[in-house]
Amino acid sequence: MILVESHRGLQVAEQSVEMVERKGTGHPDQICDCVMDAISVALSSAYLEEFGTILHHNIDKGLLAAGRVEKWFGGGEVLEPMELTIGDRATFNAAGREISVLKIAEAAARKWIGAHLRLVDPDLHLNYRFKLAPGSRELTDIFQRPGETRGANDTSAAVGYFPLSATEETVLNLERELNGERFKALFPDTGEDVKVMGLRCRDELDLTVAMPLLAGSIGSESAYFARKEEIVGEMRRFLAGRGGFRRISLHFNTLDQPGRGLGGVYLSLLGTSAEDADSGQVGRGNRVNGVIPIGRPIGTEAAAGKNPMSHVGKVYNILSHRMAREICRTVEGVQGAYVLLLSRIGEPVDKPLMANAQLMMAPGRRAEEVAGEVEALFEREFAGINAFCLALARGDYPVS
């Protein structure tokens, strides 16, 4: 069923208070999401190469347990490596042939870590623990059943929206800047474990940023606070004139306290708090549009690592945001959209139980005027879902 209607209620930008969070590349939760999805992409590729189709797998249970390090001004050492648990289900053999699931999974994890965390050695600083097993007969049978599209392996709902608010855009772009090439070239002594929390109260934006400085590059407490001021200055330059806010307040590493030595500064040896302070878990990080939007409707499914052909926790999570974006970009008079998708287990993923579009219209326009156009867009998107799922399998759509 497809239902198109007007959104009833204030748009998020019209509300007095808005809260938005973004966890960056080196945050333990973000590491888990990205690594598990990288494993799903690698397995999908291996299944396609070996069997000509993507087989049952869900690599969406991951835990990064923090290690232990000793830090001092100017350096430090790793005392105990982090441990990454890679779990849930995969297909180990089919048609009488086996596939090296564990080797593929570990290689994909090492590759992602090596490419995104500059100081983390995937061989020395991490241990890998696997809790992967074959899936149940009923769920794996989905991949043997006839039909052009897979049946949904769960009864689940997802919601997407477009456009991002000015607060969401600012929070997202600030983290991307802090972990981007330009900023890291200017400040190579900063780690990847960035967290940005934005609070908009009416037309003022308050930003709280956490980002460690690297112990090996900071020789003293005074050097830390001097460098911190330089970083704040660069962040202010980046934020100047962005978002149309009347005022932007910036707070950086607010747990710091001068005079307390190592206990009063945010230093990291490897650039991530998973080295000794904070563990991570799949599903606790960003939504698939890159932010954690407190006050927006959000689904409860973690998209990372789920099967891209049958698990609606991945397919519908990303598709709902894509549909909302396409509605806003192609349907005249639509200023914003929420898309809600609901599956029923066993039904083909291109035939949801409900596809609901809630539209925010331009003044003088009504949702009824464009309902047919939006319904046709939905039908086109569902008709092309196999190509979309294969794009998910290639990793074309980031999950966080």
Its pTM stands at 0.96
Q: How far apart are CA 379 and CA 182, in angstroms?
A: 42
Question: Is residue 178 one of the residues assigned to a domain?
Answer: yes
pLDDT tens string 139-193: 777 777 777 788 888 999 999 999 999 999 999 999 999 999 999 999 999 999 9
Contact 13, 296 (CB under 8 A): no
**Which pair of structure tokens corresponds to residue 216?**
């090996």
> What range defines the domain where residue 232 resides?
12-24+165-273
Question: Is residue 183 one of the residues assigned to a domain?
Answer: yes
Distances 328 to 11, 12, 336, 338 between C-alpha atoms, Å: 14, 16, 6, 10
pLDDT on residue 208: 98
282 pLDDT higher than 80: yes
Looking up residue 223, the CATH number of its domain turns out to be 3.30.300.340
Question: Is residue 228 one of the residues assigned to a domain?
Answer: yes
299 pLDDT higher than 90: no
pLDDT on residue 138: 73
Question: Is residue 18 one of the residues assigned to a domain?
Answer: yes
User: Considering the chain, what percentage of its residues have pLDDT values greater than 90?
Assistant: 90
Q: Which amino acid is at 363?
A: P
Q: How many domains are contained in the chain?
A: 1
**Which pair of structure tokens corresponds to residue 264?**
């009063």
Question: Is residue 193 one of the residues assigned to a domain?
Answer: yes
What residues pair up with 308 in beta bridges, in sequence order? none
198 pLDDT higher than 90: yes
Contact 179, 117 (CB under 8 A): no
Question: Is residue 362 one of the residues assigned to a domain?
Answer: no
Question: Is residue 329 one of the residues assigned to a domain?
Answer: no
15 pLDDT higher than 90: yes
pLDDT tens string 70-91: 999 999 999 999 999 999 999 9
Distances 66 to 10, 27, 113, 270, 276 between C-alpha atoms, Å: 42, 11, 15, 12, 5
Q: Give residue for tokens 């609070």.
A: 199
243 pLDDT higher than 80: no
Q: Which of 234, 269, 260, 235 is nearest to 118 (CA)?
A: 269
Question: Is residue 7 one of the residues assigned to a domain?
Answer: no
Q: Which amino acid is at 318?
A: I
